[in-house]
Amino acid sequence: MLLFPIVPVLFAGDNVDNEVKFGGTQVTVDNEVVAKVTSFSRNVSVKEENITGSEDIVPGTDVLHEMFTAISISETANVEGIAIETQANGLDDGQSELKDAVESGKVITMRAVKNTGYGWSLKGFFTSYDESADTSGVYKYKGAFRVNAKTEITPGS
């Protein structure tokens, strides 16, 4: 009799074939590449409505079994990175586009393409932009983006 579960052990050499790595990911804001992106995420959420009726009972009991239906889908994207700025030119062009877009509230297209060539073209607007720094050294930025339309990007498109 085993007192503990048997768990397979993976070694550093056991790489997964076809894993997608972040390196080479490119994020653009209105066709300007955003430099030093350290993180990109897409989030999809569903709002639901409780549609439980008196007939939705657990068989043989008088206990209701809750029923729900989806009523809306919401999507956001988040981008984070290291601020790049030169004395001669100011902010990196892509980071400048990102910051200008959020400060003006304009609708823009943000593209996020993985190193595989797959990704998304997202149309919407930035809902927030944050810059921060501390004694650890570098300025960082974060932008949150509301997605109103999305097109999948495939290699060569």
Residue 96 lies in a domain: yes
Higher pLDDT, 68 or 31: 68
Q: What is the mean pLDDT of residues 51-79?
A: 95
Q: How confident is the model at residue 9 (pLDDT cuts 50, 70, 90)?
A: low
51 part of a folded domain: no
Domain around 95: 26-44+75-153
Residue 91 lies in a domain: yes
pLDDT tens digits for range 15-52: 556 777 777 778 888 888 887 888 889 999 999 999 99
Q: DSSP alpha helices (H): ranges in the chain? A: 93-104
Q: Which tokens in the block code for residue 99?
A: 């910051």
Residue 123 pLDDT class (50, 70, 90 cuts):
very high
Give the count of domains, the chain: 1
pLDDT digits (tens, 9 = 90+) for 70-117: 999 999 999 888 877 777 777 677 777 888 888 899 898 988 888 888
Q: For the whole model, what pTM was predicted?
A: 0.72
| Interval 131-141: pLDDT, tens | 888 877 788 88
Q: Determine contact, residues 127/146, Cβ cutoff 8 Å.
A: yes
Residue 86: CB atoms within 10 Å: 8
8 domain residue, yes or no: no
